[in-house]
Every structure is written in C-alpha cells, then in structure tokens.
Amino acid sequence: MKTKDSIITLPQPALRQRSRKVGLITAEVKNIIKDMQAATLDWEDNRKHEVGVALAAVQIDVLLRIVVIRNNFDDKNDRTFLVFINPEITKYEGKIESSYEGCLSILDIYGKVPRHTKVRIKALDIDGKEIRVRAEGFLARIFQHEIDHTNGIVFIDHIQDKQDAFFRLTDTGDLESLDYKAKIESNDQLWATP
C-alpha cells in the first residue's frame, strides 16, 4: 500500500509530463487506484489543517489518466472516493473566479488560481462505464486542477507571473502572503524544466 511518501513533488519531471490514456481497466489499474486513495489518506493523516481532496495518478509517479476525488471533502471521517478514468472536460461554463488551491505535490505553497465556476466532465468509472458529471464551485475547481495534472500542468503554471497570488499555510491554519521575489520567482524547485 502506498503512503504519503509515495507522493512525488516538484521538481520531479513526471509532474510536467502528459499521462497516457487507460486502455483496459485491469487488476493492476484497480491496484493503482487503491494506492492513490491510500497515499491521499496517509498524507491527510499527517496534516493538521488540510484535507486530501483528490489525487491524479501522476502524483504517485504513474503516468496514467486516473483521478480520485473524495466523496465528501467537508467530512474527514468519510474516507471514500469517486474514481474517474480518462477524465476530460467537455465544456467550460459559468464565469472565471480566483480562489485558493494547494497541491500534495507542491510543498507548503498555495495559490490564488483563476478557474471556471462550472465544467462538464466525461470519464469512465472503475467498471469501465462512461459517466458524465456537471460540476460547479469547489468540485469544478478540483476537476480542473486534477485534469491539469493528467496534462502535465500544475496550478502554479496558471499564476507564474502573478506576484500577489502565492501563499503559505501557517501553523495556525491561516494563509499568509509569500514574498514573490524571494520565495517564488527564481525557485528552482517550482520552475525546473523537464
């Protein structure tokens, strides 16, 4: 079973690579999904103020287009996930709003990222059946963030030049602004090219 230590972080080059589509949903694919869930929960169990809401397979160094999303990210006791295989956004809707995002693969940095408020998703479930989802609000943001991962994009790429968009989580669980010039602009961990 995978743990929080299985989650790769920048500057690992895999995080900047496109994942491959899943062909057959084999026992191996189902084991990868179990590993993703276990790693997310273990990560959360070691964080005081954060919830592990979702993970893409690339984050455990598996370049397959698989995403798991918590069933209920408002309740840490609900440790179940929905599975989306080969997810794609079929339509962007609503307006674009900026809100805070963090990432299990970017240590201790949060960003204020612009995203669409509504999206439509097409994917396969764990049994290979096609599913379609209309997501809005926080769930729409999660889908955009995770599907970006399957395309080799991390959230900081959307705000690379926005000096006031980077934050860190304090010991009390608050977000405080980061000094862009000192901590972000020439940070080799964040911007290393594969």
Instruction: Name the catalytic one among 44, 88, 130, 146.
Output: 146
Summarize pLDDT for 144-171 with one digit per residue, the tens.
Answer: 999 999 999 999 999 999 999 999 988 8
Summarize pLDDT for 116-133 with one digit per residue, the tens.
Answer: 999 999 999 999 999 999
Selection from 45, 41, 65 nearest residue 54 by Cα: 41
Is 0.85 topped by the overall pTM? Answer: yes
Unique residue bearing structure tokens 């026992």: 27
97 catalytically annotated: no
Q: Extract the tokens encoding 27.
A: 């026992």
Domain ranges of the chain: 4-95+118-157
In CATH terms, the fold of domain 4-95+118-157 is Peptide Deformylase (3.90.45)
